[in-house]
Amino acid sequence: MFFTAMNFRLPLITLAALFCLATPALQAATAEYRAGVATVDITPREPIRLSGYASRTKPMDGVLTPIHTKALAISRGRKERVLIITTDLIGLPRTITDVVAARLLQKYGLERAEILFNSSHTHTAPYVKSNLSLLFDFPPAEQVTVDAYAERLQDALVEVASRSLLDLSPATLASAHGAVHFGVNRRKPGPNGFTIGVNPDGPVDNDVPILRVTGADGKVKAILFGYACHNTTLTGENNVVSGDYAGFAQEAIENANPGATALFLMLCGADQNPNPRGTGALAKQHGEALAAEVGKALAATTPVRGTIKTAFRLVELEFEANDRSTFEGRLKDKNPYVVRHAKAMLARMDNGQPIRRYAYPVQAMSFGGKFTVVALGGEVVIDYDLAIKKAYPGAGVVVAGYSNDVMAYIPSRRVLKEGGYEAWDSMLYYGLPASWAQNTEEKIMATVATVMKATR
């Protein structure tokens, strides 16, 4: 079932030709842009451990729904282009995205700023090698399966990109916004600090941003949509593959728009959970509610026009102080994950590879300065979404988390001060040494300002 079209090959053709090739009739079309879409099935073909919940102790029990990677390529003229690649996965680490980006640069000349990778963060998809590196301690046979899946996944990402480039044809763009309300802030305050629960008074963003791509024939070719909410309707006891609510939403949108490809963009949902949650029926309910809102919002769209500009920066983030004594003191902790983390950090120190800083990706893709995707790495809390939208009210900003590299949670200064899972506990599973430094939000927001200035 995995990668059903892996024998697909592009003819030898330059990137410029891919973006500009057209018959005279098509060249005469009035469409400002050209767009192409593609889908590749990435459902595992053999049992593999699903990611997202440390409680899982065995490979998957089956498949509820297939999962996919999809690509949307958009160009304007010969030099302006973007490629958005989405995945029904927990997250893509830079060990994968850097390799795929390098392959796309070599094959098609695409620069790093022109490629955006985003993951839906579904917790019912295969474990992705190097993401959540300390979540499981795999036996050798399972590790072989994990390694093989990562290799095939890289090929699938290159393939889906290639297919979308080959599919380029005249298109027009339009944007819209809807709203759904099943996402709720999950950081619940209590006498012992913040725990994961339901906090109806916590910050949320119910916005559903939409980008519609229409072909020269007037038919909808692609619908890119997003929402800021964890894909965790299916909880840990559910051990079957699915895209969770985002997967069901894509399926429903495609059924309502025959011939169109629906792509889900995960926004800043790190501290947001679906409510209620726990079953496949609820995941379908949420997905269909999201799809219905997309359909409703598409009845009132605003044209998107103008120059495509992109920017990509890496900013060095630091951690709170930690040293050998920090980890040695945790070796007898009652929590096995604390011990596993301490051993891993000590091993890195012994090998002369302690983690002191992390190169964090920040990206912007702008269409005429009126529809702009700001893409942030990691599991980003909603505070960043709200702050960036407030800072750039006229840019049509969509703030996506889980983009280009998912290395950890990205707490705001507020969340760091409050503590809890998003501030520190999650680092035990991601394999980073300590909480992020107090200046993390400041550094990220300064880098957002840099990429926004570059795309005006």
Query: Per-residue pLDDT for 168 more than 90?
Result: yes
Residue 6: pLDDT band by 50, 70, 90 thresholds?
very low
User: How many independent structural domains does the chain possess?
Assistant: 1
Residue of 318 and 5 predicted with greater confidence: 318
Average pLDDT over residues 314-322: 97
Q: Would 411 be classed as within a structural domain?
A: no
The 10s digit of each residue's pLDDT in 339-367 is 999 999 999 999 999 999 999 999 999 99
261-300 b/e (C-beta count within 10 Å ≥ 16 → b): bbbbbbbbbbbbbbbebeebebbbbbbbbbbbbbbebbee
Residue 19: pLDDT band by 50, 70, 90 thresholds?
low
Average pLDDT over residues 198-211: 98
Residue 10: pLDDT band by 50, 70, 90 thresholds?
very low
Contacts with 52 (C-beta within 8 Å, 6 or more apart), sequence order: 90, 121, 122, 123, 124, 125, 132, 232, 236
Question: How confident is the model at residue 345, as a pLDDT?
Answer: 98
Residue 240: pLDDT band by 50, 70, 90 thresholds?
very high
Residue of 387 and 10 predicted with greater confidence: 387
Q: Would 4 be classed as within a structural domain?
A: no
Question: How confident is the model at residue 403, as a pLDDT?
Answer: 99
Query: Per-residue pLDDT for 68 more than 90?
Result: yes
Domain that holds residue 221: 15-304
Q: How far is CA 217 from CA 31, 139, 166, 170, 258, in A?
A: 11, 53, 18, 9, 14
CB 274 within 8 A of CB 233: yes
Q: Would 168 be classed as within a structural domain?
A: yes
User: Which of 225, 224, 110, 215 has its CA nearest to residue 157?
Assistant: 110
% of residues, the chain, pLDDT over 90: 93
Average pLDDT over residues 200-216: 98
Helix residue spans in 29-122 (DSSP H) = 94-108
Residue 270, token pair as written in the block: 């790190």
Task: List, as one string, the DSSP characters of 195-259.
Answer: EES--TTS----EEEEEEEEETTS-EEEEEEEE-S-B-SS-TT--EE--HHHHHHHHHHHHHSTT
The 10s digit of each residue's pLDDT in 252-303 is 999 999 999 999 999 999 999 999 999 999 999 999 999 999 999 999 999 9
Question: How confident is the model at residue 254, as a pLDDT?
Answer: 98
Task: List, as one string, the DSSP characters of 365-408.
Answer: EEETTTEEEEEE-SEE-HHHHHHHHHH-TTTTEEEE-SBS---S
Query: Per-residue pLDDT for 114 more than 90?
Result: yes
Nearest-angstrom CA–CA distance, 270 and 389? 17
Residue 314's SS3 state is strand
Give 436's DSSP letter.
B
Question: How confident is the model at residue 2, as a pLDDT?
Answer: 46
Average pLDDT over residues 374-394: 98
Count Cβ atoms below 10 Å from residue 62 Cβ, excluding itself: 8
Element (H, E) at 301: none
For the purposes of burial, counting CB atoms within 10 Å of the CB of 152, is it exposed (0-12), middle (13-18) or buried (19 or more)?
middle
Question: How confident is the model at residue 18, as a pLDDT?
Answer: 52
CB 250 within 8 A of CB 264: yes
Residue 341 β-bridge partners: none
Average pLDDT over residues 330-342: 98
Question: What is the Cα 361 distance to its own chain's centre?
Answer: 12
Question: How confident is the model at residue 73, as a pLDDT?
Answer: 99
CB 185 within 8 A of CB 200: yes
Question: At what angle are helices 440-454 and 382-391 packed, to 10 degrees?
Answer: 40
Question: How confident is the model at residue 25, as a pLDDT?
Answer: 37
Residue 134's SS3 state is coil
Count Cβ atoms below 10 Å from residue 368 Cβ, excluding itself: 18
Nearest-angstrom CA–CA distance, 304 and 395? 12
Q: Would 334 be classed as within a structural domain?
A: no
Question: How confident is the model at residue 11, as a pLDDT?
Answer: 42
Q: Would 414 be classed as within a structural domain?
A: no
Question: How confident is the model at residue 26, as a pLDDT?
Answer: 38
Residue of 25 and 231 predicted with greater confidence: 231
Q: Would 409 be classed as within a structural domain?
A: no
Q: Would 108 be classed as within a structural domain?
A: yes
Residue 15: pLDDT band by 50, 70, 90 thresholds?
low
CB 16 within 8 A of CB 165: no
The 10s digit of each residue's pLDDT in 76-112 is 999 999 999 999 999 999 999 999 999 999 999 999 9
Residue 12: pLDDT band by 50, 70, 90 thresholds?
very low
Q: Would 265 be classed as within a structural domain?
A: yes
The rounded mean pLDDT for the chain is: 94
